[in-house]
Structure 1
Amino acid sequence: MSRTAFKSLLAVPAIAVMAMGAGVGVSAFPGTAMAADVAVASQGPVVELQVMQQVAGDPDKATVGAGVTTRAATAQAAMQQNAAEMDKVLKRLDSLGIDRDYVQTTGIRLNPQYDYRNGEQPRFTGYEASNTVSVELRDIDKVGDVLDALVAAGATNLSGPEWGIVDDSGARAQARKAAWEQSLAQARDYARMTGYRDVKLLTVSESMGFSAPVQERALMVQASAPAAKTPTRPGQVSTQVTLSTRFELVN
């Protein structure tokens, strides 16, 4: 069952009170029309706040990286060998029923290799080719099984998993609302403490983030222990919103 937890990460990392404020631009929230040319002039002192709130929830997707690295005496041979091995990995992904829209090539590299020894000129030893894909998995209970299957198919490089939420718009809305309410309450606290009646919003801007409190790295599975399955624990992931606001203190 899905769980969400609401948390206040950061109250006020930076506060500045200024004597007078000039005309300032207004930033709209993402998804609305920008109002960068609208200016709101301030007549009184201005308080600047930055508040971050986050909502934690259960992830429903995981992203892993999988690839193949090969070496050969010539560049062409290294690339050809790599292509043959990577084709096996991609076909294995198809056989696992993973939608091709969720599989994306993220890097193809070819580099000369040298043997470096103390006091000697580097000796050319051949070429190394690598091909890596990013795979998004919507069934997080099968992440370990997929990683093991990819290694069995010939993958030599694995990374991740990175846990996430497919649609975190609800969590963002919760975090945004809480950040705004905290910003307004703190600005009014400053108004009262300095002898003013209330505050007027001058600017507000938003930045959004995503973090995984617990992120496990999938290590390369050794061929000497094929019976062991790769365990994973998704934990919870956090959706966070940071509001930067400027309020004028008014009577």
Structure 2
Amino acid sequence: MLTSVIRSPKVSLCVLLLSTSLLSPAASYAQAPPPPPHAQLRSIDVSGEGIATVAPDMAVVSLSVTRVADTAAEALTQNNEAMRGVLDALKADGVAERDVQTGEFSIFPRYSDPQTSQKDGNPQPQIDGYQVTNSITVRVRDLTKLGGLIDKSVKLGVNQGGQITFTNHDPKAALQDARRKAVADAMEKAKTLAEAAGVALGPVLTIEENNLRPQPVPMMRMAMAKEADSVPLAGGENNYTVVVNMRFDIKP
């Protein structure tokens, strides 16, 4: 008995399409190989630094009141009275409440030399009083008042602190100037390198700000004493530094 087999044209067409799709990625890959690695290295990388100098327009000063008494309650009362006088004086000099902030408050016992215990003979520390410290940080926006403000605070009871940081309320303009100088510095370096290498400098490929570093601001510490005269101060200048990294193309 003969059996006849009839092949459908649709099946043959599907097999043909599948074969073509499997071969197409290899064919396209062979037609478009990736660029050689050295083609991606035709560039010049440089860094540039810009510094902008500006006079400070604000100071941040730390002021502390410390009181010692036989009991913690007595030390706290004395400290509160002195600090109220300081805060009232700051307010009278035009310092806004938002520019005064408590930085530290502490109460701890003070110990005398250890005494020998009658029970076991071991030295035992003895409490001979309590110390209360209240520290505030003050932003002074009128630098002409800074010396007199410190002098008045000392006479009202401030006996620790005196660390001053000169800064700027809004350094945006100085930073923008530093950025422009940093980019100009990087471009000048790139042109010099290209000329020395005998190549033509192309356009900028990438640029990024690597680091933003305000230079350390002039600071000073003063010993607080009630005999202090009006404090002479010098604000100096603040430096703001910006560093940029730039990549330039090298023309073929």
Same fold (TM over 0.5): yes
Q: Distance in 2 between matches of 1:182 and 1:175?
A: 10
Higher normalized helix content (fraction of residues): 2
Q: Distance in 2 between matches of 1:96 and 1:83?
A: 20
Residues 180-212 of structure 1 show CA distances to partners (whole Å, capped at 9, x for unaligned) of 110122123223333432254334124333336
User: Secondary structure of 1:43's match?
Assistant: helix
Query: Paired residue for 1:185, among 180, 184, 188?
Result: 188
Corresponding position of 1:207: 211
CA apart distance, 1:131: 1.1
TM-score (norm 1): 0.70
Corresponding position of 2:107: 110
**Aligned residues, how many?**
208
- Superposition pairs for residues 52-71 of structure 1, below 5 Å? 52-71=49-68
Q: Distance in 2 between matches of 1:130 and 1:50?
A: 48
CA apart distance, 1:161: 2.3
Q: 1:186 to 1:158 in 2, by over 3 A?
A: same
CA apart distance, 1:60: 1.6
TM-score (norm 2): 0.70
Query: Paired residue for 2:151, among 148, 155, 176?
Result: 148
Corresponding position of 1:97: 94
Q: 1:44 to 1:129 in 2, by over 3 A?
A: same
User: Secondary structure of 1:152's match?
Assistant: helix
Q: 1:105 to 1:50 in 2, by over 3 A?
A: farther
Q: 1:43 to 1:114 in 2, by over 3 A?
A: farther
RMSD: 2.9
Q: Distance in 2 between matches of 1:242 and 1:125?
A: 56
Residues 15-64 of structure 1 show CA distances to partners (whole Å, capped at 9, x for unaligned) of xxxxx79xxxxxxxxxxxxxxxxxxxx81156554433222222221111
CA apart distance, 1:74: 4.1
Amino acid at match of 2:104: G
Amino acid at match of 1:138: R
Q: Distance in 2 between matches of 1:131 and 1:49?
A: 50
Higher normalized strand content (fraction of residues): 1
Q: 1:96 to 1:127 in 2, by over 3 A?
A: same
Corresponding position of 2:137: 134
Corresponding position of 1:242: 243
Q: Distance in 1 between matches of 2:103 and 2:153?
A: 16
CA apart distance, 1:146: 0.4
Query: Which structure would you say has the larger Rg?
Result: 2
Residues 62-94 of structure 1 show CA distances to partners (whole Å, capped at 9, x for unaligned) of 111112112234444433432232222111211
Q: Distance in 2 between matches of 1:187 and 1:122?
A: 69
Amino acid at match of 1:56: T
Corresponding position of 2:81: 84
User: Secondary structure of 2:182's match?
Assistant: helix
Q: Which runs of 5+ in 2 are unaligned?
A: 1-36, 115-121
Counterpart contact for 1:68–1:156, Cα < 8 Å: yes
User: Secondary structure of 1:105's match?
Assistant: strand
CA apart distance, 1:150: 0.6
Q: 1:129 to 1:44 in 2, by over 3 A?
A: same
CA apart distance, 1:104: 1.3
Counterpart contact for 1:64–1:159, Cα < 8 Å: yes
Q: Distance in 2 between matches of 1:107 and 1:47?
A: 52
Q: 1:250 to 1:72 in 2, by over 3 A?
A: same
* Aligned sequence identity (%): 24
Amino acid at match of 1:157: Q
Q: Which runs of 5+ in 1 are unaligned?
A: 1-19, 22-41
